[in-house]
Amino acid sequence: MAVVEELRFKIVRTNSHDEVIARANNLLVARAAYETARRLYPHDRVDYRDGAHVIARSEPEIESVVRKK
Protein backbone atom coordinates (compact mmCIF):
# COMPACT_ATOMS: atom_id res chain seq x y z
CA MET A 1 0.00 0.00 0.00
CA ALA A 2 1.42 3.39 -1.02
CA VAL A 3 1.71 6.20 1.47
CA VAL A 4 0.40 9.50 0.14
CA GLU A 5 2.07 12.61 1.53
CA GLU A 6 -0.12 15.52 2.44
CA LEU A 7 1.01 18.62 0.61
CA ARG A 8 0.00 21.17 3.22
CA PHE A 9 1.45 24.35 1.66
CA LYS A 10 -0.12 25.79 -1.46
CA ILE A 11 0.33 28.77 -3.72
CA VAL A 12 -2.94 30.25 -4.94
CA ARG A 13 -3.28 32.76 -7.77
CA THR A 14 -6.42 34.89 -7.67
CA ASN A 15 -7.53 36.52 -10.89
CA SER A 16 -11.25 36.10 -11.39
CA HIS A 17 -11.18 32.82 -9.46
CA ASP A 18 -8.76 30.91 -7.20
CA GLU A 19 -6.23 28.74 -9.03
CA VAL A 20 -3.85 26.51 -7.08
CA ILE A 21 -0.60 26.78 -9.03
CA ALA A 22 1.73 24.88 -6.67
CA ARG A 23 1.66 22.54 -3.69
CA ALA A 24 4.53 21.48 -1.45
CA ASN A 25 5.18 19.67 1.79
CA ASN A 26 8.39 21.62 2.47
CA LEU A 27 8.21 25.19 3.82
CA LEU A 28 11.26 26.42 1.89
CA VAL A 29 10.16 24.87 -1.41
CA ALA A 30 6.73 26.46 -1.00
CA ARG A 31 8.32 29.86 -0.27
CA ALA A 32 10.42 29.60 -3.44
CA ALA A 33 7.28 28.74 -5.43
CA TYR A 34 5.49 31.76 -3.92
CA GLU A 35 8.34 34.15 -4.79
CA THR A 36 8.43 32.79 -8.34
CA ALA A 37 4.66 33.12 -8.73
CA ARG A 38 4.84 36.76 -7.56
CA ARG A 39 7.31 37.51 -10.35
CA LEU A 40 5.32 35.57 -12.98
CA TYR A 41 1.95 37.11 -12.09
CA PRO A 42 2.60 40.69 -10.90
CA HIS A 43 -0.95 41.84 -11.75
CA ASP A 44 -2.72 39.09 -9.77
CA ARG A 45 -2.95 38.45 -6.06
CA VAL A 46 -0.85 35.47 -5.01
CA ASP A 47 -1.35 33.77 -1.62
CA TYR A 48 1.09 31.50 0.21
CA ARG A 49 -1.08 29.29 2.40
CA ASP A 50 -0.72 26.64 5.05
CA GLY A 51 -4.14 25.06 4.85
CA ALA A 52 -6.61 27.92 5.39
CA HIS A 53 -3.97 30.12 7.08
CA VAL A 54 -2.46 32.77 4.78
CA ILE A 55 1.28 33.02 5.45
CA ALA A 56 1.91 35.77 2.85
CA ARG A 57 -0.11 37.64 0.27
CA SER A 58 1.09 39.76 -2.62
CA GLU A 59 -0.78 42.84 -3.72
CA PRO A 60 -1.36 43.22 -7.47
CA GLU A 61 0.67 45.87 -9.22
CA ILE A 62 -1.49 48.51 -10.83
CA GLU A 63 -0.61 49.31 -14.40
CA SER A 64 0.03 53.00 -14.86
CA VAL A 65 -1.26 54.59 -18.01
CA VAL A 66 0.90 57.31 -19.49
CA ARG A 67 -0.86 59.65 -21.88
CA LYS A 68 1.10 61.60 -24.41
CA LYS A 69 -0.06 65.09 -25.30
Q: Which domain holds residue 42?
A: 9-57
Residue 48 and residue 9 in contact, taking contact as beta carbons nearer than 8 Å: yes
Decide if 66 is inside a domain.
Answer: no
> How far is the CA of 9 from the CAs of 25, 38, 48, 52, in angstroms?
6, 16, 7, 10
Decide if 41 is inside a domain.
Answer: yes
Decide if 65 is inside a domain.
Answer: no
Q: In this structure, what are the phi and psi dihedrals at residue 39, rounded to the nearest 5 degrees?
A: -75, -35
Higher pLDDT, 46 or 1: 46
List, for residues 52-65, the tens digit of each pLDDT value: 899 999 998 886 55
For the chain, what is the domain count?
Answer: 1
Mean pLDDT, the chain, whole residue set: 86
Whether pTM exceeds 0.95:
no
Decide if 42 is inside a domain.
Answer: yes
Residue-level pLDDT at 64: 58
Decide if 69 is inside a domain.
Answer: no
Decide if 36 is inside a domain.
Answer: yes
Alpha-carbon distance 28 to 56, whole Å? 13
Decide if 18 is inside a domain.
Answer: yes
Cα torsion 17, 21, 26, 29: sign: negative
Decide if 25 is inside a domain.
Answer: yes
